[in-house]
Amino acid sequence: MILVNRAVSTTLDNVAWFSRIRTMNRKIHSTLSSSKPDSLRIQHLRSEDSNPESASGASGSSETLVYTRKKRLKQEALEPLEKKSQLCGLPDIEEFAFKKNTRSSKRSTETNITVASASTAGRSTETNITVASAKTTAGNPPENWVEVLEGIRQMRSSGDAPVDSMGCDKAGSFLPPSERRFAVLLGSLLSSQTKDQVNNAAIHRLHQKGLLTPEAIDKADESTIKELIYPVGFYARKATYMKKIAKICLEKYNGDIPSSLDDLLALPGIGPKMAHLILHIAWNDVQGICVDTHVHRICNRLGWVSRPATKQKTSSPEETRVALQQWLPKEEWVAINPLLVGFGQTICTPLRPRCEACSVAKLCPAAFKEASSSPSSKLKKSKQSKEL
């Protein structure tokens, strides 16, 4: 009997001991679950399902751990630092180049910007940048432009460029004034995206067929015009433009061409470059510079033009025209086009310019830079690196 009592008391002590351990485990587990981050929390779900099968097959004290991911809380915005510690380098000029001054839009202003740049010794140094508006620099010609222009004239004195013998100003030079003006209009239209040799040959074929007058173009079939002007660039579209232009000239200008810039720009297929060229040649009216792809390229290479209030290159011939007209004397507006076009056809070519043959290379910021990046030079460099 004494043994039975001892066994019962031992069993009760063990049950109480296990109960205490289980209670402690629960407290520890609840403490750990509450200390987990919000992004990963543990929820205890007791298996108290209403389904009797699941309830009978599982223990009443079984637990299931379910992990649920919650959205991260937005971090609070940090307090802004001072200007000197906020900027670590020079800003891009484009960030403030085109901001208009609403208070004094009519006056030219200057902006002083203080930038903190990290030095090698761990100290911050300040750099003052003065940014002038477009009106401040407008009208200031580039350095040595007269010497550069005279050097280009000497290189072009031979007159061996295609533009010298086959340019748009040569179209219909043997015709009466009104017919010649229409021929100049057609030649300017066909010159877009077309070499002078191809354009001159197309005008010659039109002349042989008697199609250099608005009356003849209006009566001719569009397919015939396409065959005659091929292979000029976009010949099919230009044939359509020629028919429309001929009809407009007959109906609105009595067989002649428009004499104003706005009326020329209203014609289909005529842009600013062509309109200014037509005014120069046909009407001897100088209202702007004729800027084509050659003039646009060379002016940027020489550093003659840039976008307003920046040192970046102009992105289009029209931007180049506006920038060039701000400082180039008006007596040079007509001569600058054939001068630079011929220079671009012979020496300052689009690909691999002949900088070694250019007498003004020492004054050109782009001299030998584009030539060194040609495919042949890259091939030579790759061969040399392989040999090493």
Q: How far apart are CA 262 and CA 42, in angstroms?
A: 76
Minimum mean pLDDT among 79-93, 189-203, 366-380: which range? 79-93
Indicate the CATH number of 143-158+289-371 among 1.10.760.10, 3.40.50.720, 3.30.1330.60, 1.10.1670.10. 1.10.1670.10
The pLDDT value recorded for residue 55 is 42
pLDDT tens sequence across 329-377: 999 999 999 999 999 999 999 999 999 999 999 999 999 987 554 445 4
- 300 half-sphere exposure, CB direction, 13 A CA radius: 22
Please state which of the ranges 34-48, 153-167, 224-238 shows the lowest mean pLDDT: 34-48
pTM of the model: 0.61
Q: Using a pLDDT cut of 70, give the percent of the chain over it.
A: 63
> β-pairing, 110-118 with 41-46?
unpaired
Tens digit of each residue's pLDDT (9 = 90 or more) over 29-51:
666 655 555 444 444 444 444 44
Contact assessment for residue 162 and residue 191, using Cβ atoms and an 8 Å cutoff: no
Tokens linked to 32: 């750990």
Q: Outline which parts of the chain fall under CATH 1.10.340.30.
A: 173-287
Q: Of 265, 267, 187, 268, nearest to 229 (Cα)?
A: 187
Rounded to whole angstroms, the Cα distance separating 363 from 354 reads 15
Active site residue 273: yes
Q: Residue 140's pLDDT is what?
A: 86
Cα–Cα distance for residue pair 46/58, rounded to 1 Å = 11
**The domain 173-287 is classified under which CATH number: 1.20.58.740, 1.10.220.70, 1.10.340.30, 3.40.50.300?**
1.10.340.30
Lowest mean pLDDT among 47-56, 193-202, 249-258: 47-56
pLDDT for 2: 53
The DSSP bridge partners found for residue 132 are 110
Of 170, 238, 243, 273, catalytic:
273
Task: Say what the pLDDT of residue 311 is.
Answer: 86
> Which residues, listed in sequence order, are joined to residue 65 by a DSSP beta bridge?
44
In DSSP terms, 112 is beta-bridged to 130
Does residue 157 register a pLDDT over 50?
Answer: yes
Average pLDDT, the chain: 76
Q: In the block, which residue shows the tokens 């219909």?
A: 172
Split at pLDDT 50, 70, 90, the class of 144 is very high
Residues 6+ apart with CB under 8 A from 180: 171, 172, 173, 282
pLDDT bracket for residue 110 (50, 70, 90):
very low
